[in-house]
Structure 1
Amino acid sequence: MKTKLICALTGVGLLLFTGCTNLAEKVLDEASVSGLTDKQAADGNIAPVYARLPDIFQHTTYFALQEISTDEAILPYRGGTDWGDNGIYLALHQHTSTSTDPNIRNTWLLLLQGISRSITAINTLPTINDPASKVYIAEARGMRAYYNMVMLDLFGIAFLKDDPQATSDILRGEAAANYIKAEMLAVEPDLLTTVGPGRLSKGALWGLLARLHLNYAVYRDRYADTFTHKPEDMDKVVEYCDKLINSGQYQLSKDYFPIFNSDNHSNPELIFAVDQRAELNGHNRLAYFSLSGDQFPIPAYVGANGTDGPAITPDFYQSWVSAYAGKDPTVDPRFYKQNLSIYSNPGDSCVAESAFNINRGILRGQQYGLIRVNGAFVKCPDGKYKVGKLFNTTRNKPTLPVNFTEKIDFTVAGSDYSTGYRVEKYEFSKKSVSGRNLGDADIVIVRLADIYLMRAEAKLRKSNDAAAALADVNTVRASRTVTTPPPALTSMNLDLLFRERGFEFYWEMLRRTDMIRFGKYEGTWTEKTNTDKQKRIFPIPQTAIDGASNLPGYLVQNPGY
């Protein structure tokens, strides 16, 4: 196969806006495809359509934009220098990002590459005589709609383009949402129901359509003081959620954290996800991003540790505290799962490799784990691994305990390596040679719990049907039967539902979209006071504006940037 370097500024089509990349891609030419079967050719054209998903969902791209910009996550300069990155994470949290932010640019580039690859597949697959081509065309077209939906949510625009050589039409607002909806509806009949969460199935499409209709009011009038959720949109949310729930194809997981385990591809709650099985797809660092540099989750890899990245804000933590006033938030099994029994039994300080698993959820206080001395883990006389109190040894502070505190901010004291409660939601991969990347847990895009909570919200917004909404919320709560489920709620309103979505979906890249829809994004929280409504969407990268400069008025920067 030939290799080519893709450079964006080679024409006036969609790739005009991607900037030059260093991505060496394998492309099929006439010579290379001559030995392929039709099935191989079809498979080879649909695979690139999904291949950018793991990169879009990296910790520094979509995750950063959707979480660090909100009241859930904050990332200061650790120790005064680490994660400085010229202040981009501080700006993201404070809603002062600029059009030169590299993470915003990279997210833009990756989404456009996803759109471009979808267009290539849509135009190539009809020439391949394989039975799968019809389904693949529907998937490619549906994925083009999905990438545009994310683009609309983040940047306020969508690209309408069918001919690879043509110039895209740029759509904004309701026109963009209508285009995305029409594309999804057009492919629905040809999608399958049996392809699993890593591909666009009928169920995945229904979930995305429900999400689109739930946010239609935002997309229709982005800077409105109050969003008007039309009854017909809310009816559509309920319709698609009903289809998913009544299909019987998906089930709420009886245990919360296995939804995010390395083997979660077969978890019945997943409807649509980034397929990360067999470490084929990429650069998943969601598990390592928040952990301490002195937390080593895998005995087999002495170099696999955390990076002291983002923590949850005290504001988000206090939402748990206030919800369970008088009780520790651990009464909710979504908050925390203890795997290291040394917390409760100091005698259990020697652990077999096969039995070692770090704690999950929101991590507070003194941390325990594998003890590393001179580049090796300490072992007990019986050959098991020694587990004990952790110190900031990798930070050259061997007497400073890894003791996560609630306080975290952008001050010197609030930016130290142990400030902020950390999040370990996705399981740290036990297969990757570094343990940090190439994670093999599928990254959730849509799961059944979200379907129940979207339906609850639609019923509240349309007719204030608090009883039906409460029933949906409590169905999700009661489903986690492996542990004691969280106590049932006794009332429901939009504020309680917003809080519940935070408890259920924290760290899942839904928070920014939720905050905007619920009117919370201009609020005040730790280190954030900006109330500018124009920050509900991000700036179009300056490189994209510059790249389109030969077409005056074609690509206009978003207001406020």
Structure 2
Amino acid sequence: MKNKLSLIFTIAGILFLSNACTDLKEKVLDESLSAKLTDEDEANGLLAPVYALLPNLFQHTTYFALQEISTDEAILPYRGGTDWGDNGIYLALHAHNTTSTDPNVASTWNTLVQSISRSITAITSFKNSTNPSAALYLAEARGMRAYYNLIALDMFGIAFLKEDAGTTSQIIRGDEAVKYIESELLAVEPLVQSKATVGPGRINQAAVWGLLARLYLNAPVYRNIYGATFDFSAAEMDKVIQYSDKVIASGQAKLSADYFAIFGNNNHTNEELIFAVDQRPELNGHNRMAYFSISGDQFPLAAFPAANGTDGPGITSDFYQSWVQAYGAVDPKRDPRFYQENMSIYSNKADTCITDASYKINRGILRGQQYGALRVNGAFVRCPDGKLKVGKLGYVTRNKADLMVDFTEKIDFTTAGSNYNSGYRVEKYEFSSSSNTGRNRGEADIVILRLADIYMMRAEAKLRKSNDAAGALADVNLVRASRTVTLPPPALTSMSLDLLFRERGFEFYWEMLRRTDMIRFGKYEGKWTEKTNADVKKRIFPIPQTAIDGASNLPGYMKQNDSY
């Protein structure tokens, strides 16, 4: 069954489907594999489209951009005055000045509503199916509909309530939306399969428990999105603890001893992953998480001299300094989550010859002068013995050979702070070994939920419920101590909400959790590099103007979020 579904995922992922409308109606093309399908094939064919747009949702310019570039963690300036200008949308996003015509907001919205539409189509079909697997797949489709609605609630402040594919969705907000998503997840909890059965690429029992914990932890925000404070009730914090306990006790996930293996090309079998975007089938995913931040003159693959980065976002000095403050006189690379040096040769000053098989770029937060394969006229320079010639990189592809790929801490919207080399970069996900362009053929599953987050959510609930600092500290230190492939981070000696927020930044940077975390911890209206806007109405994004216009024939149906 797994192999069949993986094949159908691949085919569904490349089918052309029309853009979803506001009322979640979508024209679904014939997705048959043959004229004579078995009942199981038909069931798989209905379920596959429910997942097929996840790689699109988790691209660099959709969910990632909105969740990271809007925060103190990531910033994307107008590089060199020529690249990533995009009519100022990334500058506006970081400064909390996004408008309803932002194309990345529209793309994220459209992908979400289209995925909800596909889920409803599958639910309707499975309700009428006599297939023995129908009840199981129905639960899975309902679970994914709840997940997509959870993202929509988090980002846009609304959820879509709809059971019949032929009717218009009801838009719900606040507590009503929280209760709806909760009821759906609780309904499918006893019906979906274990992670051991279906893997992390499909909604599973541990994923449902983890999503319930995430929902309960953020529910006070969703009920009162513009509030000065949030009511983290003891009852809901108990539920966070309850469902976190279920995940941990089930044994369906284990903390990874190697932190960067969680984001490696073979991470589908990494036991820490609970729920993820499965990018394995036919390498039909994307490599954008690895390509987006590194330099256009970093070429990570000996086999593909056209596969490079793009000089996208860097981390802000504010976020980098949180590491510095935590480690004092010790370089933060002492923390195995901060940096992984795959090739110590990159620290050498002289050019060096290296075999193709040994060539592998460093991971984590990249600072200073970068070394790599030297490239001239589209081909890698070779030593006399045929090995790759590795040396200091300059911005040759930008026709700025005198500008070295020497990443600086300073990055902002000034001319100097917007240069190609400004800002420390992030290479958290491993660069796909099969990506011939650098953009395509992703191999690493993109993490949606992993076990470390379960422990961290439980720690936060303990603090918010009864200020159980000792219990929270134990959970956080357990995660830190698990990274034993290298020297693990030193144990912390105290715990508070501010320290936990800092720790979540260290553990989950670049994982599309930062905006949600900042709002919940009361940090989103703060000041950081190039951001001073303290308007609480910017906690959620505008509903795209295209969606407002598309619903104009239904007066009052699609109400724009406040301040947009």
Q: TM-score, normalised by structure 2?
A: 0.95
Match of 1:399, SS?
strand
**How far apart, in 2, do the equivalents of 1:227 and 1:8 lie?**
34
Q: Who is 1:497 aligned against?
A: 500
Q: Is the 8 A contact 1:54 1:281 kept in 2?
A: no
Q: Who is 1:338 aligned against?
A: 341
Q: Who is 2:298 aligned against?
A: 295
**How far apart, in 2, do the equivalents of 1:240 and 1:281 lie?**
33
Q: Is the 8 A contact 2:20 2:110 kept in 1?
A: no
**How far apart, in 2, do the equivalents of 1:470 and 1:261 lie?**
28
- The answer on 1:545 being equivalent to 2:548 is yes
Q: Who is 1:65 aligned against?
A: 66
Question: Once the 2 structures are TM-superposed, how far is the Cα of residue 435 of structure 1 from its aligned partner?
Answer: 2.8
Question: Once the 2 structures are TM-superposed, how far is the Cα of residue 4 of structure 1 from its aligned partner?
Answer: 7.7
Q: Is the 8 A contact 1:296 1:370 kept in 2?
A: yes
**How far apart, in 1, do the equivalents of 2:181 and 2:17 lie?**
30
Question: Once the 2 structures are TM-superposed, how far is the Cα of residue 433 of structure 1 from its aligned partner?
Answer: 2.5
Matched ranges for 1:75-154 at <5 A: 75-154=76-155
Question: Once the 2 structures are TM-superposed, how far is the Cα of residue 383 of structure 1 from its aligned partner?
Answer: 1.6
Match of 1:36, SS?
coil
- The answer on 1:326 being equivalent to 2:338 is no
Question: Once the 2 structures are TM-superposed, how far is the Cα of residue 34 of structure 1 from its aligned partner?
Answer: 5.0
Q: Percent identity?
A: 69
One-letter identity of the residue aligned with 2:90 = Y
Q: Who is 1:13 aligned against?
A: 23
**How far apart, in 2, do the equivalents of 1:316 and 1:7 lie?**
37
**How far apart, in 2, do the equivalents of 1:342 and 1:207 lie?**
41
Q: How far does the alpha carbon of each residue in 1:235-279 deviate from its partner, in whole angstroms, 9 at most, with x for none?
A: 000001101111122110001001000100000000000000144
Q: How far does the alpha carbon of each residue in 1:418-460 deviate from its partner, in whole angstroms, 9 at most, with x for none?
A: 0000000000001123232221100000000000000000000
**How far apart, in 2, do the equivalents of 1:173 and 1:285 lie?**
33
Q: Is the 8 A contact 1:61 1:106 kept in 2?
A: yes
One-letter identity of the residue aligned with 1:290 = S
**How far apart, in 2, do the equivalents of 1:141 and 1:249 lie?**
21
1:338/1:280 Cα in 2 relative to 1: closer, same or farther (>3 Å)?
closer
Question: Once the 2 structures are TM-superposed, how far is the Cα of residue 345 of structure 1 from its aligned partner?
Answer: 4.6
- The answer on 1:219 being equivalent to 2:233 is no
1:354/1:278 Cα in 2 relative to 1: closer, same or farther (>3 Å)?
farther
Q: Who is 1:21 aligned against?
A: none
Greater CA drift, 97-106 or 278-287: 278-287
Q: Who is 2:528 aligned against?
A: 525
One-letter identity of the residue aligned with 1:14 = L
**How far apart, in 2, do the equivalents of 1:208 and 1:176 lie?**
15
Q: Who is 2:3 aligned against?
A: none
**How far apart, in 1, do the equivalents of 2:375 and 2:438 lie?**
16
Match of 1:27, SS?
coil
- The answer on 1:261 being equivalent to 2:271 is no
Question: Once the 2 structures are TM-superposed, how far is the Cα of residue 5 of structure 1 from its aligned partner?
Answer: 5.7
Q: Is the 8 A contact 1:59 1:284 kept in 2?
A: no
**How far apart, in 1, do the equivalents of 2:31 and 2:446 lie?**
29
One-letter identity of the residue aligned with 1:83 = W
One-letter identity of the residue aligned with 1:514 = D
Q: Who is 2:8 aligned against?
A: none
One-letter identity of the residue aligned with 1:385 = L
- The answer on 1:475 being equivalent to 2:478 is yes
Matched ranges for 1:414-493 at <5 A: 414-493=417-496
Match of 1:300, SS?
coil
Q: Who is 2:176 aligned against?
A: 175
Q: Is the 8 A contact 1:38 1:128 kept in 2?
A: no
Q: Is the 8 A contact 1:77 1:415 kept in 2?
A: yes
In structure 2, stretches of 5+ residues that fail to align are 1-10
**How far apart, in 2, do the equivalents of 1:326 and 1:477 lie?**
20
Q: Is the 8 A contact 1:342 1:348 kept in 2?
A: no
**How far apart, in 1, do the equivalents of 2:372 and 2:202 lie?**
37
Greater CA drift, 473-482 or 130-139: 130-139
1:396/1:470 Cα in 2 relative to 1: closer, same or farther (>3 Å)?
same
Q: Is the 8 A contact 2:346 2:372 kept in 1?
A: no
Question: Once the 2 structures are TM-superposed, how far is the Cα of residue 126 of structure 1 from its aligned partner?
Answer: 3.3
1:525/1:149 Cα in 2 relative to 1: closer, same or farther (>3 Å)?
same
Match of 1:272, SS?
strand
1:501/1:375 Cα in 2 relative to 1: closer, same or farther (>3 Å)?
same
Greater CA drift, 348-357 or 278-287: 278-287
In structure 1, stretches of 5+ residues that fail to align are 19-23
Q: How far does the alpha carbon of each residue in 1:141-192 deviate from its partner, in whole angstroms, 9 at most, with x for none?
A: 0100000000000000000001001111110011001100001101111100
Question: Once the 2 structures are TM-superposed, how far is the Cα of residue 347 of structure 1 from its aligned partner?
Answer: 6.8
Match of 1:400, SS?
strand
**How far apart, in 1, do the equivalents of 2:551 and 2:224 lie?**
26
Question: Once the 2 structures are TM-superposed, how far is the Cα of residue 127 of structure 1 from its aligned partner?
Answer: 3.6
Question: Once the 2 structures are TM-superposed, how far is the Cα of residue 131 of structure 1 from its aligned partner?
Answer: 2.5
Question: Once the 2 structures are TM-superposed, how far is the Cα of residue 129 of structure 1 from its aligned partner?
Answer: 3.4
**How far apart, in 1, do the equivalents of 2:31 and 2:406 lie?**
53
- Matched positions, count: 550
Matched ranges for 1:195-206 at <5 A: 195-206=198-209
**How far apart, in 1, do the equivalents of 2:377 and 2:19 lie?**
46
Q: Who is 2:156 aligned against?
A: 155
**How far apart, in 2, do the equivalents of 1:162 and 1:524 lie?**
43
Q: Who is 2:38 aligned against?
A: 37
Question: Once the 2 structures are TM-superposed, how far is the Cα of residue 400 of structure 1 from its aligned partner?
Answer: 1.5
Q: How far does the alpha carbon of each residue in 1:475-520 deviate from its partner, in whole angstroms, 9 at most, with x for none?
A: 0000000100011100000000000000000000000000000000
Q: Is the 8 A contact 1:279 1:439 kept in 2?
A: no
Question: Once the 2 structures are TM-superposed, how far is the Cα of residue 35 of structure 1 from its aligned partner?
Answer: 1.1
